[in-house]
């Protein structure tokens, strides 16, 4: 087992010699320094000491100032101060500035050994605590990284499930096949242009993709009816907003997205459904989605009509600013070049398998 190393600092050579001899007899490896400056130079070159014993009254840099340097530059090394001065103010100041113990000169061998033994044990425990904290931080960082990776994997698995749900709805209603992915891509582009952060983009993407999920509960006779719906059938169709909300809100990581599902048919002037929300009562994601949804609906072919151009859809959305749509969001929409939307639609439809609506947001 390696011997503990002690540095004795005193401007009086006899004191250094006596202290060094006594400590060497007790089995310690001892080095000495005649001044604080000399000691600081030694420590800078070789800081591997288990204890520093320092006098207080020294020419040049005094012991208390030396103690300040030690506590700043070598905080792991315990320090014992010794002096011929029995002054409670000096003793208190030494302890407050970081000394482990205080020893009066002249000292006896037993007294010196006892103080040194306590100080070295204190230093050993301090080093153990520092090592433990360092190892604990490393363990926490490693486990945090693993947890983050696990959460990302879990989030990906959730999104895969959501994609399957949306695709199932598209397969059920072939007239709107691909609608969920296109409208999510449009919503993402518009939300990004508004400067929303990545977490907000993820929430809005999920809400946009699942906006019509409540139609899973809509009877085929109504959902797939080729002609105009009756008033009773329309009332049932409108229930899909609340049905979708009730389905999605039960999933903890989709609670915010559920609000978009619930409000995606609301209109800025309060004439939408199911709650007749007005203005900023409508969640921001739903207000963004409303424009994207109309854009896709107008530019997509239906059995009863052919889709219009993106330029005409853009004009119609502009005309409905302040009534159906939030005028501030419409302003952002109009700042985006029209060809962006047609390029985005083409990119979405050309990729096989279809790109995930959630990745990269």
pLDDT at 248: 86
- DSSP 8-state class, residue 83: E
pLDDT at 319: 96
- CA–CA distance from 43 to each of 2, 20, 33, 38, 353 (Å)? 19, 17, 10, 9, 66
Strand order in the sheet with 51-55: 29-33, 5-9, 51-55, 79-83, 101-104
pLDDT at 353: 46
**pLDDT in single tens digits along all 361 residues of the chain:** 457 899 999 999 998 898 888 888 888 899 999 999 999 999 999 988 889 999 998 999 998 999 999 989 988 889 998 888 788 888 888 888 988 888 888 878 888 888 888 888 887 877 777 777 777 777 777 777 776 776 566 566 666 666 666 666 666 555 556 788 889 999 999 999 999 999 899 899 989 988 988 888 888 888 878 778 888 989 999 999 999 999 888 887 788 999 999 999 999 999 999 999 999 999 999 999 999 999 999 998 776 678 889 999 999 999 999 999 999 999 999 999 989 998 888 888 775 444 555 654 4
CA angle 5, 98, 36 (to 5 degrees): 60
Strands (E), the chain: 5-9, 29-33, 51-55, 79-83, 101-104
- CA–CA distance from 289 to each of 71, 105, 106, 109 (Å)? 60, 83, 85, 84
CA proximity to 34, closest of 22, 50, 61, 16: 16
CA proximity to 243, closest of 281, 211, 207: 211
Tell me the two tokens of residue 134: 């360092």
CA–CA separation, 209 and 285 (whole Å): 12
pLDDT at 143: 72
How many other CB atoms sit within 10 Å of the CB of residue 255? Answer: 12
Give how far the C-alpha of residue 258 lies from the chain's centroid of Cα atoms, to the nearest Å: 23
127 catalytic, yes or no?
no
CA proximity to 329, closest of 268, 288, 296: 288
Q: How does DSSP assign 302-331, residue by residue?
A: BTTB----HHHHHHHHHHTBTTTB-HHHHH
Helix 109-172 crosses helix 179-193 at what angle (to 10 degrees)? Answer: 130
The one catalytic residue among 105, 215, 225, 312? 215
Tell me the two tokens of residue 212: 């019509």
Instruction: Report helix, strand or coil for 336.
Output: coil
pLDDT at 315: 94
Question: How many residues are present in the chain?
Answer: 361
């Amino acid at each position: 087992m390696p011997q503990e190393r002690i540095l004795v600092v005193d401007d009086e050579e006899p004191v250094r010699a006596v202290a060094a001899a006594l400590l060497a007899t007790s089995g310690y490896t001892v080095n000495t320094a005649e001044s604080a400056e000399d000691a600081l130079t030694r420590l800078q070159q070789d800081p591997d000491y288990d204890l520093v014993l320092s006098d207080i009254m020294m020419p040049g840099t005094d012991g208390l100032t030396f103690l300040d340097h030690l506590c700043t530059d070598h905080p792991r090394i315990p320090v014992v101060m010794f002096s011929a001065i029995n002054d409670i103010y000096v003793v208190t100041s030494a302890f407050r500035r970081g000394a482990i113990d205080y020893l009066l000169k002249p000292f006896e061998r037993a007294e010196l050994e006892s103080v040194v033994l306590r100080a070295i044990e204190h230093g050993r425990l301090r080093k153990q605590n520092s090592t433990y904290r360092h190892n604990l931080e490393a363990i926490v960082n490693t486990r945090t990284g693993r947890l983050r990776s696990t959460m990302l994997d879990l989030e990906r698995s959730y999104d895969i499930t959501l994609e399957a749900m949306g695709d199932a709805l598209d397969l059920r209603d072939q007239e709107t096949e691909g609608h969920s992915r296109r409208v999510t891509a449009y919503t993402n582009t518009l939300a990004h242009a508004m400067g929303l952060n990545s977490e907000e983009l993820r929430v809005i993407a999920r809400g946009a993709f699942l906006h019509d999920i409540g139609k899973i509960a809509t009877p085929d006779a109504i959902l797939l009816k080729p002609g105009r719906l009756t008033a009773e059938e329309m009332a049932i169709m409108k229930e899909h907003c609340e049905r979708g909300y009730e389905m999605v809100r039960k999933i903890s990581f989709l609670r915010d997205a559920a609000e978009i599902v619930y409000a995606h048919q609301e209109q800025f002037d309060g004439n939408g459904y199911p709650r007749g929300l007005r203005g900023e009562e409508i969640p921001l994601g739903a207000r963004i989605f409303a424009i994207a949804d109309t854009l896709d609906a107008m530019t997509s072919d239906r059995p009863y009509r052919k889709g219009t151009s993106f330029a005409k859809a853009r004009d119609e959305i502009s005309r409905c600013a302040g009534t159906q749509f939030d005028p501030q969001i419409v302003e952002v929409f109009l700042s985006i070049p029209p060809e962006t939307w047609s390029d985005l639609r083409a990119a979405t439809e050309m990729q096989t398998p279809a790109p995930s609506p959630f990745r990269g947001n």
